[in-house]
Amino acid sequence: MNIIINGTTYEVEKNTTILQACKNAGIDIPTLCHDERLKPTSACRLCLVEVEGTKNLVTSCSTMVKENMVVHTHNEKVMKTRRDVLNLAISNHPLECLSCDKSGDCKLQDYCYEYGILNGTYKGAMRTPKIDSSNPFYDYDARKCILCGLCVRVCDELQCSNAIGFEDRGFEANVSTPFNEGLINSKCVSCGNCVSVCPVGALTPKGQKFRHWETSKVRTTCSYCGVGCQMDLVVKGKKIVDVEPAMDAINNGLLCVKGKFAYKFINHPDRLKTPLIKRNGKFEEATWDEAYRYITKKATEIKENYGPNSFAGLTSARCTNEENYLFQKLFRAVIGTNNIDHCARL
Ligand code: SF4
Ligand code: SF4
Ligand code: SF4
């Protein structure tokens, strides 16, 4: 069907939302609660557009296109309403952008800049400070929560843990756990998928301290298991400071607790970086050549004295398929035993 957006006619598929049609046409509509993977809820009201013939502005994320629909995405009425929506969103928001960990990667901050919202027109009460820091990996700061609902929906619809929901109504509404017992006592499995979708600094990884503009991203494959989730390592200098799930990949923007949060071993001072050989009862650092020579010598002695079945090989899901293939080849073809297993079966 044909629709007219800002005076230009576009051909679009049936069952397309106005938001999607605009995206296909290269027209940017602001959203705070939209995620293509989730059912639309029209919660943030920022994606409002004008459709000729309708009394009120409509939410483009949940309104389907119709034949010959005439849409205005950036006229004066729409822009003024979006400014009002942003003004209301920050009316009880602690504007701590100077020290907020999310600064530089915050959709609310970006849209306020884009729409020229400086300090907020509406001044009034602020919400009761409520911080849930009971989870070992991330914190929830209700003062910064804009109630977009993305975290609740991702936990329900994609992660299927259903650990969080909205508590209270109106001004005091916030994200909480059943009986308000804290994330640590909930069904939360600490996957961090809620943290990854939060558009503001309400859900943040614990102890995260960096400025987003100082970082770069490196796409890689998670090495914890065989699923092969894609992720972006957020790198500052030579350190990994955060991990974000890749959207355009098999894991569809999701990770588990290991992929999302278990990266600190990489820069941990206790991490082994060279082989160790025990000499006179003490481990001493060695080169790889020394280590391989030592392993070959010992393995040959053991095989000669006790036979190949005195060996057992245990390999890891954290290795690649190619590494696991080579490991079983070493045991079967070189050492001569089928005693080989894998941590995923244990
Ligand atoms: S959440 Fe965003 S708007 Fe709020 S203080 Fe942090 S950076 Fe600023
Ligand atoms: S960490 Fe995962 S399980 Fe826990 S609340 Fe967030 S999305 Fe739900
Ligand atoms: S915590 Fe973040 S994702 Fe959840 S409702 Fe609040 S702003 Fe939205």
Q: Which of 113, 134, 130, 214 is nearest to 175 (CA)?
A: 130
In a domain, 131, yes or no: no
Ligand number, closest to the Cα atom of 200: 1
Considering every ligand atom shown, identify the ligand nearest to the alpha carbon of residue 175 and give its number.
3
Place of tokens 């899901």: 317
pLDDT for the residue 118? 85
The enclosing domain of 41 has a CATH number of: 3.10.20.740
Q: Report the pLDDT value the prediction gives residue 346, as an integer from 0 to 100.
A: 52
pLDDT tens sequence for the chain (346 residues): 999 999 999 999 999 999 999 999 999 999 999 999 999 999 999 999 999 999 999 999 999 999 999 999 999 999 999 999 999 999 999 989 999 999 999 999 999 999 999 878 888 788 878 899 999 999 999 999 999 999 999 999 999 999 999 999 888 899 999 999 999 999 999 999 999 999 999 999 998 889 999 999 999 999 888 788 999 999 999 999 999 999 999 999 999 999 999 999 998 999 999 999 999 999 999 999 999 999 999 999 999 999 999 999 999 877 888 999 999 999 999 999 999 998 776 5
151 in ligand 3 pocket by Cβ < 6 Å? Answer: yes
Check if the beta carbon of residue 144 is closer than 8 Å to that of residue 94. Answer: yes
**Alpha helices, H only, the chain:** 18-24, 76-89, 107-114, 150-153, 193-197, 257-261, 288-306, 321-329
User: Residue 90 Cα, ligand 1 centroid: separation in angstroms?
Assistant: 9
Residue 192: which residues within 8 A CB-CB, separation 6 or more? 137, 138, 205, 255, 257, 260, 261
Structure tokens given for 229: 């989730």
Indicate whether residue 200 lines ligand 3 (CB < 6 A).
yes
**How far apart are alpha carbons 58 and 42 in whole angstroms?**
9
Question: What's the pLDDT score for residue 221?
Answer: 93
**89, 120, 146 — which closes off a domain?**
89
Residue 12 placed within a domain: yes
* Rounded Cα–Cα distance for residues 202 and 131 (Å): 9
Q: Does 11 map to a domain?
A: yes
- The last residue of one of the domains, among 73, 89, 105, is 89
> Structure tokens of 259?
């992929």
Q: What is the count of structural domains for the chain? A: 2
Domain stops at, among 69, 89, 109: 89
For residue 230, what are the CA distances in angstroms to 97, 156, 227, 256?
30, 22, 9, 12
In a domain, 229, yes or no: no
Give me Rg for the CA atoms of the chain. Answer: 27
Has residue 320 been placed in a domain? yes
Q: Determine, yes or no, domain membership for 148.
A: no
Domain that holds residue 338: 307-345
